Chain A
Amino acid sequence: MPRTGVFICHCGTNIAGTVDIDKTVEASRNFPGVVHADEYRYLCSEMGQDIITKAIKENDLDRVVVGTCSPRMHENTFRKAAAEAGLNPYLLEVANIREHCSWVHKDMEEATPKAIALLRAAAAKAALNEALEAPRLDVEKRALVIGGGIAGIQAALDIAEAGYEVDIVEKDPSIGGRMAQLEKTFPTLDCSACILTPKMVEAAQHPNINLLTYSEVDEVKGFVGQFDVKIRQKARYVDPVKCTGCGICWEKCPSKAPSEFEMGLSKRKSIYVPFAQAVPMVPVIDRDSCLYFRKGRCQICEKECPPQAIDYEQQDEIIERRYGAIVVATGFDQLDPTIYGEYGYGQHPDILTGLEFERIFNASGPTGGKVVKLSDGKPPKKVVFIQCIGSRDKARGMNYCSKICCMYTAKQAILLKEKVPDAKSYVFYIDVRTGGKGYEEFQRRAAEEHDVAYMRGQVGKIFPEDDHLVVRGIDSLTNRNIEIKADMVVLAAATVARGDAPELGRLVGINSDSYHFFNEAHPKLKPVETHTAGIFIAGACQAPKDIPETVSQASAAAVKAIGLLSKEKLQGEACTAEVIQSDCSGCLNCEAICPYTAITPVEIEERYKDGVLKRTVAEVNPALCQGCGSCAVTCRSGSINLKGFSNDQIMAEVDAICLQR
């Protein structure tokens, strides 16, 4: 018979307000095996933990049940207290009488018997608990950062500065990301490139940082401390060692394709660097538009290249490397507003998205920094900005707020007034949201000092007529229809997850919300962690956010990664699955269902009659297993035991609740 101690927490009035603590303590004394029962106002406090530790020693307890909040909150706290008293921490069991009981009931008459039943079940399970040991795992002292935008660069720089090696994997030919496409940044109007490029160069030159541009992650296996990653370095068809970045190849190249960096507003060559400050300054050949790859002739770049760096035979290269931690910082896309037919996007060159307009301001952009209409090259005199295109739109778009649009619209309106002093801006908005240091002041400046007319309302139709765009909308404050003959329309298209985010999430093993933004482990307390240990997220791949927020999140993710890498050994999961191989039929359904690839088939030998029988059974790698239990419930012969949650233990809990009523 075990010697079990039961400890019940009041949690102030959180539990005691709905559960009769005295009755519960009294009832607990009568559970099989219980030799001690006590209560305390805040069991998680130092005093409360002391009560447990002392009681274990004084009463020679070998099982402990705590009736408290959810084990997600304080299981570790109480396990440590038990360990303090010399008890194996896995002999302690938590009965969740707060979230599962007191918080969901109002009536003490109902809640009290339920709390007692939950405690009885926990005591019955605890009696069958076994001492478990968590495995100790090695840590590879290197981090992988996926995405080379400002989030990835910042995270990599911080990790590298702490003394660890970092690889940045960037799918584009250059690092820099979205921030490189921006003209100026709110609310201080400093030039985006001027503050970004030094960081790009620093990342490229840092001895601990290894840039893998034009590369993508193909496969992630393993677990915290030991992720085995396959990275595909796509063929550039240019030898980066020989190339000097002189630019003769892209000057001479005769074929063109729409520039991704310029949002398709202008063309780039088929051999190209995405922008003038690209890092590394090594071009790539785009096979789809290159004359040589399409038709087998041309080869001008090869002939003209002074150091003869062109190599048409180059192949994709697979790099296999082990990492201790991974930071995912893959950024965002802009919604394609063509789904909203009423705005006429794509049907007229002067109807632009916010990011496209950003390029119009830029000195190296499609208009050379002259703010002019793409239709006729004349400066726009009337520009209409429309907010929330696809954001805050339950019916046809996204429910969420894209967060950055109110501010960048104010910025663009101010920049417009500076470049075209007689231009007039109109902003159609639902609400103006300017939370952030100096943000409200900035937006007010746009409205009050830069002649920007803010109109609360929405636009119903945009169409070209004569040489202007007719914008028809409603001012919902005056309830009047508004018609503006505009020269240019800028749509604040929603910030959306990258198109390949679901695929990357699956590949890396992290989950996302219904909009494909990656999920943090806790919305407040674990904002950069994911549910997969050792994988962190930073920047707009988690949710729409601006640069300051992105950078702080990147540094936070870096700190978490550094904390992990600095450990000599990691404590693994003790509650893992084990296969009872004598019962296993080798169907391997468990292998298919395991989300952590922890189950593999092995061949075992068994004595059978006079000979030896070889057969295949499943085996669990305890280092990979996260104890989710999917295999245990899938197993048809019941031959998988999840340590700490065995079938016997679960049945004992059920019996304790059902049979004692």
Chain B
Amino acid sequence: MRYRYFPGCTLKGQAKSMEDTTLAAAKAMGIELEELSEWQCCGAVYPLYEDELISLLSPVRTLAAAEGEPLVSLCAACHHVLKRAQELMQRNEDARKKVTDHLEVEYAGEGRVLHFLEVLRDDLGFDKLKEMVKKPLEGKKVAAYYGCLLLRPSKVMQFDDPENPTIMEDMIRALGAEVVKSPYRTECCGAYLSVTEEGVAADTVQRILDSARRAGAEILVTACPLCRYNLENCADNEGKTPIKVYYFSEILAEAMGLPSESAQDRGTKEEVPQG
């Protein structure tokens, strides 16, 4: 299995661990992720106005660079923008012409745009993943936190049922951990309000964490760097049961017997070769 791979800027900095663990796990599973050369920003935010084409230049350039091959990303925000930009290019010929004319590119961006979780589910299969697990995460109570970017708008993202998604729970189960479900798993994390309206973000994050706690979760996994940032930084956890937030790829790597922060936190440090 070979895919073009778009990391996006966050994965080279803040969310480096998501990239490292994914690439290591992918390699162990025989999934080849070939990083696009000279890639640029994904566009960061999908425009709210259909005619705001300037924001599409970046994602369309990225889609064109994939040359029609399946394109995988990890960051929920990158995947969201790429997938929606692709949908607009397919649906709106006028927009497509304007953007590609401006970029002076031959657009062959009709290949599949995938999140790595979709690769695991649709191309590899969770049954196969289960067989590949070396160190099942037995006894761990893991809750999935989806946020909104992967799921909505559901007709475009085609990722999972926006109200009752199962993809991350299915992965957690395949890794041998115990699935814990919290009703807030598809709620918004507050997004950029953590910068402008701290109170609002603090409130939403607090609900998400407290709900996961009540459901009995020890670990919360996400695929979104911004969600993780907010979950880790916006809530007041003074005196409450600790709850760890990881990228989905970290527990994936851990279960594959590979180095990951989640493995270290679990006190299995001695088994993990440093580096």
Interface residues, chain A, with chain B CB atoms under 8 Å away: 340-342, 461, 463-466, 470
Is chain A's binding surface mostly helix, strand, loop or mixed? strand
- Which residues of A are found within 8 Å of B101, using beta-carbon distances? none
- Give the chain B neighbours of A342 by CB distance below 8 A: 163
In the complex, the answer to whether B161 meets A465 with C-beta atoms within 8 Å is no
Given A465-B211, A465-B214, CB of A341 within 8 Å of CB of B161: yes
Residue of B161, B163, B214 with most chain A CB atoms under a 10 A cut-off: B163
Q: Is B199 an interface residue, CB under 8 A from the partner?
A: no
- Show 15 A/B contacts (Cβ-Cβ < 8 Å), sorted by A: A340-B163, A341-B161, A341-B162, A341-B163, A341-B164, A342-B163, A461-B183, A461-B187, A463-B183, A464-B183, A465-B183, A465-B211, A465-B214, A466-B214, A470-B183
The 6 closest A-B pairs by CB, nearest first: A341-B163, A463-B183, A342-B163, A341-B164, A341-B161, A465-B183
B201 to chain A, nearest CB (A): 14
The smallest beta-carbon distance between A345 and chain B, in angstroms, is: 11
Interface residues of B (CB under 8 A from A): 161-164, 183, 187, 211, 214
Instruction: Enumerate chain A residues within 8 angstroms of B183, measured Cβ to Cβ.
Output: 461, 463-465, 470
Which partner residue on chain A sits nearest B165 by CB separation?
Answer: A341
| Smallest beta-carbon distance B182→chain A, Å | 9
Chain B min CB distance to A542 (Å): 32
Q: In the complex, which residues of chain A have a beta carbon less than 8 angstroms from the beta carbon of B162?
A: 341
Chain B residues whose C-beta falls within 8 Å of the C-beta of A465 in the assembled complex: 183, 211, 214
A470 to B183, CA, bound (A): 10
- Min Cβ gap A30→B in Å is 53
Residues of A within 8 A of B163 (CB): 340-342
Which of A463, A465, A470 lies at the interface centre, i.e. has the most chain B CB atoms within 10 A of its CB?
Answer: A463
Residue of B nearest to A465 (CB): B183
For residue A661, give the distance in angstroms from its CB to the closest CB of chain B: 40
A466 to B213, CA, bound (A): 13
| A465 to B185 alpha-carbon distance, docked (Å) | 13
Q: A464-B183, A470-B183 are in contact. List 12 more A-B contacts (CB 8 A).
A: A340-B163, A341-B161, A341-B162, A341-B163, A341-B164, A461-B183, A461-B187, A463-B183, A465-B183, A465-B211, A465-B214, A466-B214
Q: How far is the CA of A341 from the CA of B214 in the complex (A)?
A: 22
Q: How far is the CB of A343 from chain B (nearest CB, A)?
A: 9
Shortest CB-to-CB span from A461 to chain B, Å, is 8
Write the chain A residue with the least CB distance to B203.
A481
Contact residues in B for A341 (Cβ distance below 8 Å): 161-164
- Shortest beta-carbon distance, A492 to chain B, in Å? 19
Contacts of B164 in A (CB 8 A): 341
Separation in Å of the A219 CB from the closest CB of chain B? 41
Report how far A463 CA is from B163 CA in the complex, Å: 11
Q: In the complex, what residue of chain A is closest to B215 when comparing beta carbons?
A: A465
**Residue of chain A at shortest CB distance from B154:** A341
A465 to B163, CA, bound (A): 16
**A466 CB to closest chain B CB, in angstroms?**
8
Which residues from B are CB-within-8-Å of A466? Answer: 214
Instruction: Give complex CA distance A464, B184 in Å.
Output: 11
Within the assembled complex, what's the spacing in Å between the Cα atoms of A461 and B208? 14
A466 to B214, CA, bound (A): 9
Once bound together, how far apart are the Cα atoms of A342 and B164, in whole Å?
8
| Closest Cβ neighbor of B186 among chain A residues | A461
Greatest chain B CB density within 10 A among A340, A341, A342, A464 is at A341
Contacts of A340 in B (CB 8 A): 163
Residue of B nearest to A483 (CB): B207
Within the complex, the shortest CB–CB distance from B63 to chain A, in Å, comes to 27
- Kindly state the separation between the CA atoms of A461 and B161 in the bound complex, as whole angstroms: 14
> Measured between C-beta atoms, what is the minimum distance from A483 to chain B in Å?
10
What's the Cα separation between A465 and B211 when bound, in Å? 9
Chain B: CB-nearest residue to A472: B187
A461 to B214, CA, bound (A): 18
User: Chain B's nearest CB lies how many Å from the CB of A651?
Assistant: 43
